[in-house]
Amino acid sequence: MRRSIEELRTFYGDPKGALVRRILSSRLSDAWGTADGCDVLGLGYATPFLDQFSSARRVVAAMPGGQGAEAWTASGRNRTTLVNDRALPFPSGLFDRVLLVHAIEEADDAQALLNEVSRVLSPTGRVIVVCAARGGLWARTEATPFGHGRPFSRKQIEGLIRHCGLEPRAWSQALYVPPWRPMLAFSDGIEQFGRLFAPGTAGVILMEAGRLTYARPKVRSGLSVLSPAPALKPVPSLSVPRVASASAAQTAAAAAA
């Protein structure tokens, strides 16, 4: 059962919610900037983080039926809609950016939800999944929305993303500060300390993904093909190295000769 829209709105109106909004908004800004000219979808309860995409062409806040929806009209281009998270009411390939916050933890079927996200994502689009971390303190208290539903590990999120045909590109963690009011004033120092010395205590995982791309570039002698830098920092997502077959190696050697 999902948290109600009233509970979520109340949380983001108190000091703990304001801290979550500030820290996560900074990470999202590093990844996507202001989403210039993009169509952006926020799924779950993402409205606290959508106002920063001020240069987007259109922003839609889609809220699951079990949660409820709130009016969100920061500008005339923005819309709110109530959705079935197993059958999103959007055409395929519509959105350039999809942000999921408080979306998969309490979903009846997280994989079905991500399958729908993959369907509505444009060929060059990007997704960021924000979810409660299994080992963090925020998942262990019911005083915050991150303490309800199912928390995830990094490997579990990567598995769900790959299963829906997307590829993890980068990841990050946040909310090392415990969800206790007396500690909030020291949040900046605790975030820096936790990132360096206690990464397993993070309360939230952010995972960015995009579509798999296949290409056959012509590589000239003395040139290398470089991969783009990950959008989220500080740690890029792990990638599985390709292993060339014997026949492929022989073909490459013959072409080089």
Dump pLDDT digits (tens) for 50-109.
Answer: 999 989 999 999 999 989 988 876 566 678 999 998 999 999 999 999 999 999 999 999
What is the average per-residue pLDDT within 198-209?
95
CA pair distance 137, 141, nearest whole angstrom:
7
What is the strand order of the sheet 78-83 is part of?
A: 78-83, 58-64, 39-44, 95-101, 121-132, 204-211, 166-174, 235-236
Phi and psi dihedrals of 46, rounded to 5? Answer: -105, 0
Tell me the residue range of the domain where 175 lies. Answer: 5-213+222-256
CATH code, domain carrying 85: 3.40.50.150
Q: How many domains would you assign to the chain?
A: 1
Structure tokens at 136: 């963090």
CA pair distance 257, 254, nearest whole angstrom:
5
Q: Do residues 138 and 144 touch, judged by C-beta distance below 8 A? A: yes
Give 220's DSSP letter. P
Q: What was the pLDDT predicted at 225?
A: 42
Q: Is the pLDDT of residue 226 over 60?
A: no
Q: Which residues contact residue 153 at a Cβ distance below 8 angstroms, ignoring those fewer than 6 apart?
A: 133, 134, 135, 205
Q: Is the pLDDT of residue 219 over 60?
A: no
